[in-house]
Homo-oligomer: A and B are copies of this chain.
Amino acid sequence: MAQERGRDYDAVVPIDEMLSFVQRCVEKSGCISTQSRAVAEMLVYADERGHFSHGVNRLHIYTRDLATGTTKSDGKPSIVKQKGGTALVDGDSALGPIVGRFCVEVGTKLAKENGISIVTARNSNHYGAAGHYATMAAEKGLIGMAFTNTSPCLFPTRSSEKALGSNPISFFAPATNGDGFNLDMATSTVAYGKIEVAQRKSKPEVPRGWGADAHGVETTKPSEILGDGGLLPVGGVEERGGYKGTGLCMMVEILCGVLSGAHFGKNVREWQGVAREADLGQCYIFIDPECFADGFTSRVQQFIDETRELTPVDPNLPVRVPGDFARTHRQLVKEEGGLVYHGSQIEHLKGIAEELNVELFKYRPFTNEN
């Protein structure tokens, strides 16, 4: 249930065109061909849902990590420990989406056998939108939860040091006819991307609770947050409940970094650092609703429909449930016959194509004026 974001688009790229392009880019950077598809599908997943901060805008990070060798081009995740519904995976420093896909396959099988499964991975890398992995489980009829730790960018409550990542929680539950409850949220109040957008639009201020200055003190100035400042946990400052956001962020860190034996907390390398391997930790918990009361998907549908139908405070702002924004964007993509982008995003990708000397995707102008 992200806020609606009004934006204009200039270009439409058919999904297959973008999938092939991403594969060409990562393969040119060294990724073996059997693994490149996982990266492409993850980035397209995000753009198809309007989560541009996790889509092809980040392609260069994956190609760079391959080029510098901080991510292995032929890493092969494997199970190092397995019992009942659990598995511990070593990611072998493969690209995050490759480790993620491996873990989802293991976790799905274990959940079908045991009713519930948990898979944790160490030696992994940035894997993009957590919801991508929760979705894969939900498409198999499971409740899918996915978590990852990330590089330190957030001030724990009362701290003047950034010591936690934006550690997302995703929780997907299938309803009927492809509908569902799709929660995918950072445990920071907002993502960096929203603050960058505010600065790009020359907004002097963002709402309170979004970020802090270099000393960990709440500020509304985008330049201070993006400079040496950082993010605040969900809830913002302590008196408004920010300590709960810190707690949730630490919970994710325990499930990911601590449980798997990966790096954790302030010991995770800086975002976009290349001096050493990231050694991120990820965690997946899948639940088979078949093991509980009959009619789960119908009840989820009833629950989300009853929520959507609540009388809103402002008649122009209907009540939404997590995933509705993404659903609306996916509908636009379907109507347009492809992913929709700003001109500046197309230019960014052209630069990558030139740099790697790979063929660009085909695209056409965006015409929908709805």
The chain A residues found within 8 Å of chain B, CB to CB, are 1-3, 81, 83-86, 88, 113-118, 120, 122, 143, 156-161, 163, 169, 171, 173, 181, 183, 185, 189-190, 207-210, 215-217, 234-236, 238-241, 243-248, 250-251, 253-255, 257-261, 264-266, 285, 287-289, 291-296, 299-300, 303, 306-307, 310-314, 317-322
A207 neighbours in B (Cβ, 8 Å): 239-240
CB <8 Å contact, B156 and A86: no
Contacts A234-B244, A319-B157: A216 and B250 contacting too (C-beta < 8 A)? no
Q: List 25 A-B contacts (CB under 8 A).
A: A2-B243, A3-B243, A84-B85, A84-B116, A85-B115, A86-B291, A116-B117, A120-B292, A143-B259, A157-B320, A158-B312, A158-B318, A159-B307, A159-B310, A160-B311, A161-B311, A181-B254, A234-B244, A235-B235, A235-B236, A235-B245, A236-B236, A259-B296, A260-B292, A265-B307
**CB-based contact B2/A310 at 8 Å:** no
9 smallest beta-carbon distances between A and B, as pairs? A261-B293, A84-B114, A86-B115, A86-B291, A84-B115, A189-B241, A159-B310, A183-B247, A247-B322
Give the residues in chain B near A143, CB-CB below 8 Å.
Answer: 254-255, 259
In terms of DSSP, what is the predominant structure of the interface of chain A? mixed
A234-B244, A303-B264 as given contacts; A160 in contact with B259, CB under 8 Å: no
Chain B contacts for A217, CB-based, 8 A? 313
Complex contacts, A240 vs chain B, CB 8 Å: 189, 207-210, 236, 240
Closest Cβ–Cβ distance, residue A260 to chain B (whole Å): 6
In the complex the two chains form, what is the Cα distance from A122 to B260 in whole Å?
33
Contact B303 A81 (CB under 8 A): no
| A1, A208, A311: most-surrounded residue (chain B CB, <10 A) | A1
CB-CB under 8 A from A235, the residues of chain B are 189, 209, 234-236, 241, 245
A159 to B315, CA, bound (A): 10
Measured between beta carbons, the chain B residues less than 8 angstroms from A285 are: 116, 285
Residues in B neighbouring A254, C-beta threshold 8 A: 143, 171, 173, 181, 300, 303
Shortest Cβ distance from A88 into B: residue: B292
Kindly list chain B residues whose C-beta atoms are within 8 Å of the C-beta of A258.
173, 296, 299-300, 303
15 additional contacts (CB under 8 A) given A84-B84, A235-B245: A84-B85, A85-B85, A86-B287, A114-B116, A118-B287, A122-B293, A158-B318, A159-B307, A159-B319, A171-B251, A190-B241, A216-B313, A257-B303, A258-B299, A261-B294
- Smallest CB gap from A246: residue in B: B1
C-alpha gap A303/B317 in the complex (Å): 42
List the B side residues contacting A261 at CB < 8 Å.
292-295, 299
Query: With A1-B246, A161-B311, A260-B293 in contact, do A251 and B183 touch (Cβ < 8 Å)?
Result: yes
Q: In the complex, which residue of chain B has the Cβ closest to the Cβ of A115?
A: B86
> Given A120-B292, A265-B307, A310-B156, does the pair A113, B84 have CB atoms closer than 8 Å?
yes
A28 shortest CB reach to chain B, Å: 35
How many angstroms from the CA of A251 to the CA of B183 in the assembled complex?
8
Residue of B whose beta carbon sits closest to that of A212: B313
Task: Report the bound CA distance from A258 to B302 in whole Å.
Answer: 10
Complex-state Cα separation, A365 to B234, whole angstroms: 42
Among A238, A248, A292, A318: residue with most chain B CB under 10 A? A292
From A171, which residue of chain B is reached at the shortest CB distance?
B251
The minimal Cβ–Cβ distance linking A197 to chain B, given in whole angstroms, is 14
